[in-house]
C-alpha cells in the first residue's frame, strides 16, 4: 500500500513540475516575442536585438516639390496668373509680382521650386554702366518669398542686334560693328565683347554664390542668347566671352545650350567640364511625324548629346525647355509619352513649360514625370542603438534609393536630430549626397553625442538640411515628416 502511495505522490509531483515547466516556457516565449515585436510607434520599426533598432520607412507616392528640380515658372513666380508669353522680359517694374498672392498654387500648373527669367541686356543696362541691380535684387527676394530660386539669363539681343542697348548700338555704328539697313551685327567687334563681358563680370561680382540664385545661362551671341552664330566667332572672341562667365561665376551653377555644331559646342569644352550643365530649348519637337525630314527630337538632340555630353548629368544639371509648350504638343498629336521618356533617358532635372497650363487629360503623365524628374530619395532602412551614453559615438546604418534620374547637385547635408521637450541637438554627417546617383546608396557612419547633452529620452529624427541653417531642405518620399520638416525614426535613451 505504501508503495502505491509513493507512486501516486511521484506522479503528482511529476505532473506539477511538468505544468510549471510548460508555463515557464510559455512565459519565456512571450518575453521573446514581446522583445522582438514591441508595439511600434513608427510603422516599419522592429527591434531585432536588445540594442539595435531597425526602421523600414513606408514609401509614399506624393508629388514632392524639391530644390532645383521639377517644372519651372517662366517670367513669373508661384501664384502669378498667366498674362501672356514674353520670350525675353522687358518690363520696367516688378510691382505686379510684389503682391503676395493668396495661394502660391497656380491653377493647372505644378507648384515649382524654380523661377526662370530671361532678360534683355537693353533693359538691365539701359545706360552705360547703370545696371539695374535693383531689379535682380527684387526678383531674387520675390523668388525666395514664393519658395523658389531664380534661374537667370541676360540675353544680349533678340532680333539681329536691333534691340541691343541704344548706347552700344551707337558705339558699334561708329566703327562698322552694326549696320542698321542690313540688320548686320559684328559680334567680333571689340566694343560688343568689351561691354557685354563687363556686365557679366559685374553681375558675377555681385551675385556669384547668392543663395537665392539657382543658375545663370551662358549667353554670348544669337537671338535671345541661344548661341546661333557661335561657330562664326573668332576663337579668341568666343573664349573671351566665355571667360567672363567662367571667371565670374565660380559658385553659382552655369548652364550652356546643347548644340550639334562642334564649333558651337566648343563653348562647353571651354569650361573644361567644370561647373557647367547643359540645356535644350526645343524639347518635344516632333514636327511632321514619321514623314519628317528633320526635327529636334530625332535629328538633333541625340546627335548633340552623344558628342561628349552624355555623362555630364552625373555632376551637373540637365535643363529642358518646351518647343512651344505641352498644349501645342497635344494639339499636334505628338507622342507625349515618348517625349517624356526621352527626357528621362537624358536625365532631366527641370523643365520649362513657359508657365502654360497643363493640357486637359495630361495631369497623370505630368505627375509620373515629376516623380522621376531629378532626384527622389526613399529611405529604405535605418538602424541605430536604442541606448547611448552622452559623449559616445552613435553609430547608424542607412540604405537609400534614388528613384529619380539624376542626383541632387546641391551640397546639402544628411543630419540626425535628437529632440525632446527640453532640448534639441542637430548632428551633421559627412554624407556626400551629390554622389547618390539613381539606384541604391548605402551610408553607414557615426556621430558624437555631445557630452553636455542632458540624460533622458529623445526622439531620433533625420533630415537632409542646409549646411548653414541646419533646416531641412529636401522632402523625402517616405511617411513620418513632422511640422518642421524632420522625419521621425524612433526613440532613443541618452544616459
Could you tell me the pLDDT band of residue 20, with boundaries at 50, 70 and 90?
Answer: very low
Alpha carbons 199 and 165: distance in angstroms, whole number: 12
- Residue 166, pLDDT above cutoff 60: yes
Write the CB contacts of 494 (distance below 8 Å, at least 6 apart in sequence).
Answer: 388, 389, 390, 418, 449, 453, 454, 455, 456, 457, 458
**Tens-place pLDDT, residues 128-158:** 999 999 999 999 999 999 999 999 999 999 8
Task: Report the relative pairing of strands 413-419 and 439-448 from DSSP bridges.
Answer: unpaired
Residue indicated by cell numbers 525632446: 420
Q: What average pLDDT does this structure show over 365-370?
A: 98
Q: What average pLDDT does this structure show over 465-487?
A: 97
Predicted pLDDT of residue 159 = 76
Alpha carbons 60 and 463: distance in angstroms, whole number: 16
Task: Determine contact, residues 285/321, Cβ cutoff 8 Å.
Answer: no
- Which of 347, 335, 229, 228 shows the shortest CA–CA distance to 292? 335
Quote the cell numbers at residue 306: 552623344
Beta-bridged to residue 413, according to DSSP, are 465
Task: Determine contact, residues 249/277, Cβ cutoff 8 Å.
Answer: no
**Tens-place pLDDT, residues 409-418:** 999 999 999 9
Q: What average pLDDT does this structure show over 262-283?
A: 87
Q: What average pLDDT does this structure show over 173-180?
A: 91
- Which of 301, 298, 291, 299 shows the shortest CA–CA distance to 321? 301
Could you tell me the pLDDT band of residue 346, with boundaries at 50, 70 and 90?
Answer: very high
Q: What average pLDDT does this structure show over 106-135?
A: 95
φ, ψ of residue 2 in degrees (nearest 5): -60, -35
Beta-bridged to residue 441, according to DSSP, are 400
Could you tell me the pLDDT band of residue 486, with boundaries at 50, 70 and 90?
Answer: very high
- Residue 220, pLDDT above cutoff 60: yes
Could you tell me the pLDDT band of residue 180, with boundaries at 50, 70 and 90?
Answer: confident
Quickly count: other Cβ atoms within 10 Å of residue 73's Cβ.
27
Alpha carbons 139 and 80: distance in angstroms, whole number: 13
Top pLDDT among 2 and 376 is at: 376
Lowest mean pLDDT among 68-77, 260-269, 465-474: 260-269
Task: Determine contact, residues 220/156, Cβ cutoff 8 Å.
Answer: yes
Sign of the torsion formed by the C-alpha atoms of 95, 100, 106 and 109: positive
Task: Determine contact, residues 310/359, Cβ cutoff 8 Å.
Answer: no
Q: What average pLDDT does this structure show over 22-27?
A: 38
Predicted pLDDT of residue 39 = 36
DSSP string, 331-377: HTT--HHHHHHHHHHTT--EEE-TTPPPPTT-HHHHHHHHTTSS--E
- Percentage of the chain beyond pLDDT 90 is 78
- Residue 14, pLDDT above cutoff 70: no
- Which of 487, 490, 492, 491 shows the shortest CA–CA distance to 378? 487
Task: Determine contact, residues 329/353, Cβ cutoff 8 Å.
Answer: no
Predicted pLDDT of residue 46 = 52
Task: Determine contact, residues 87/118, Cβ cutoff 8 Å.
Answer: yes
Query: What is residue 449's DSSP assignment?
Result: P
Quote the cell numbers at residue 48: 531585432
Alpha carbons 331 and 183: distance in angstroms, whole number: 35
**Tens-place pLDDT, residues 424-447:** 999 999 999 999 999 999 999 999
Q: What average pLDDT does this structure show over 169-189?
A: 90
Label residue 215 exposed, middle or buried (CB < 10 Å: 0-12, 13-18, 19+): buried
Distances (CA, A) of 109 to 72, 73, 245: 10, 9, 33
Q: What CATH number was assigned to the domain covering residues 70-370?
A: 3.20.20.80
Predicted pLDDT of residue 44 = 54
Report the C-alpha dihedral over residues 8, 9, 12, 18, rounded to 10 degrees. Answer: -120
Q: What average pLDDT does this structure show over 210-225?
A: 96
**H or E segment and range at residue 119:** strand 114-120
Alpha carbons 152 and 214: distance in angstroms, whole number: 8
**Tens-place pLDDT, residues 282-318:** 999 999 988 899 999 999 999 999 988 999 999 999 9
Report the C-alpha dihedral over residues 270, 271, 272, 278, rounded to 10 degrees. Answer: -110
Task: Determine contact, residues 353/365, Cβ cutoff 8 Å.
Answer: no
Top pLDDT among 125 and 14 is at: 125
pTM of the model: 0.89
Predicted pLDDT of residue 35 = 27
Alpha carbons 13 and 435: distance in angstroms, whole number: 69
Q: What average pLDDT does this structure show over 464-476?
A: 97
Lowest mean pLDDT among 6-20, 146-160, 215-229, 330-344: 6-20
Give SS3 for 282. strand
45-61+376-494 carries CATH number 3.30.540.10: no
Q: How many helices (H) and strands (E) does the chain have?
A: 13, 20
Alpha carbons 309 and 47: distance in angstroms, whole number: 47
Report the C-alpha dihedral over residues 206, 211, 213, 214, rounded to 10 degrees. Answer: 140
Could you tell me the pLDDT band of residue 21, with boundaries at 50, 70 and 90?
Answer: very low
Long-range CB pairs of 123-128, under 8 A, 24+ apart, other chains included: 123/89, 123/90, 123/91, 123/92, 124/154, 124/199, 125/165, 125/199, 126/165, 127/165, 127/167, 128/165, 128/167, 128/168, 128/195
Could you tell me the pLDDT band of residue 275, with boundaries at 50, 70 and 90?
Answer: confident
Quickly count: other Cβ atoms within 10 Å of residue 263's Cβ.
13
Quote the cell numbers at residue 12: 503528482
Quote the cell numbers at residue 271: 569650361
Alpha carbons 283 and 369: distance in angstroms, whole number: 14
Region of 50 please: left (phi>0), alpha (psi -120 to 50) or beta: alpha
Alpha carbons 359 and 326: distance in angstroms, whole number: 7
Amino acid at each position: 500500500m505504501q508503495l502505491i502511495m509513493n507512486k501516486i505522490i511521484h506522479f503528482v509531483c511529476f505532473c506539477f513540475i511538468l505544468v510549471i515547466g510548460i508555463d515557464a516556457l510559455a512565459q519565456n516565449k512571450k518575453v521573446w516575442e514581446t522583445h522582438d515585436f514591441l508595439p511600434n510607434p513608427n510603422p516599419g520599426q522592429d527591434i531585432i536585438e536588445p540594442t539595435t533598432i531597425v526602421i523600414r520607412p513606408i514609401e509614399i507616392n506624393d508629388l514632392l516639390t524639391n530644390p532645383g528640380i521639377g517644372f519651372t515658372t517662366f517670367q513669373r513666380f508661384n501664384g502669378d496668373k498667366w498674362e501672356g508669353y514674353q520670350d525675353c522680359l522687358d518690363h520696367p517694374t516688378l510691382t505686379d509680382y510684389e503682391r503676395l498672392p493668396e495661394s502660391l498654387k497656380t491653377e493647372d500648373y505644378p507648384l515649382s521650386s524654380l523661377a526662370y527669367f530671361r532678360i534683355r541686356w537693353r533693359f538691365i543696362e539701359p545706360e552705360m554702366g547703370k545696371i539695374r541691380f535693383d531689379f535682380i535684387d527684387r526678383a531674387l527676394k520675390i523668388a525666395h518669398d514664393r519658395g523658389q530660386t531664380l534661374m537667370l539669363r541676360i540675353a544680349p539681343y533678340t532680333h539681329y542686334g536691333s534691340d541691343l542697348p541704344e548706347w552700344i548700338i551707337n558705339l558699334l555704328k561708329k566703327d562698322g560693328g552694326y549696320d542698321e539697313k542690313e540688320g548686320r551685327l559684328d559680334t567680333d567687334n571689340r566694343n560688343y565683347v568689351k561691354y557685354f563681358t563687363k556686365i557679366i563680370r559685374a553681375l558675377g561680382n555681385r551675385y556669384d554664390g547668392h543663395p537665392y540664385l539657382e543658375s545663370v545661362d551662358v549667353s554670348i551671341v544669337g537671338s535671345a542668347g541661344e548661341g546661333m552664330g557661335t561657330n562664326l566667332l573668332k576663337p579668341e572672341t568666343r573664349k573671351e566671352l566665355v571667360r567672363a562667365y567662367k571667371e565670374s561665376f565660380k559658385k553659382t551653377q552655369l548652364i550652356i545650350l546643347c548644340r550639334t555644331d562642334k564649333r558651337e559646342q566648343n563653348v562647353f569644352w571651354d569650361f573644361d567640364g567644370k561647373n557647367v550643365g547643359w540645356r535644350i530649348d526645343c524639347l518635344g519637337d516632333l514636327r511632321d511625324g514619321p514623314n519628317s525630314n528633320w526635327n529636334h527630337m530625332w535629328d538633333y538632340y541625340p546627335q548633340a548629346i552623344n558628342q561628349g555630353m552624355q555623362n555630364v548629368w552625373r555632376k551637373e544639371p540637365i535643363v529642358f525647355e518646351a518647343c512651344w509648350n505641352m498644349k501645342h504638343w497635344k494639339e499636334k498629336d505628338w507622342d507625349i509619352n515618348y517625349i517624356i521618356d526621352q527626357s528621362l533617358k537624358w536625365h532631366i532635372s527641370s523643365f520649362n513649360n513657359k508657365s502654360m497650363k497643363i493640357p486637359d487629360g495630361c495631369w497623370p503623365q505630368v505627375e509620373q514625370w515629376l516623380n522621376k524628374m531629378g532626384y527622389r530619395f526613399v529611405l529604405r532602412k535605418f538602424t541605430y542603438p536604442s541606448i547611448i551614453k552622452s559623449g559616445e559615438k552613435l553609430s547608424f546604418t542607412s540604405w537609400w534609393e534614388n528613384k529619380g534620374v539624376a542626383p541632387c547637385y546641391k551640397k546639402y547635408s544628411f543630419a540626425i536630430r535628437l529632440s525632446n521637450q527640453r532640448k534639441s541637438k542637430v548632428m551633421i554627417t559627412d554624407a556626400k549626397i551629390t554622389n547618390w546617383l539613381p539606384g541604391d546608396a548605402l551610408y553607414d557612419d557615426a556621430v558624437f553625442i555631445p557630452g553636455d547633452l542632458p540624460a533622458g529620452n529623445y526622439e531620433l529624427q533625420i533630415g537632409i538640411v542646409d549646411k548653414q541653417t541646419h533646416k531641412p531642405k529636401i522632402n523625402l518620399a517616405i511617411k513620418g515628416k513632422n511640422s518642421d520638416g524632420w522625419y521621425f525614426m524612433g526613440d532613443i535613451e541618452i544616459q
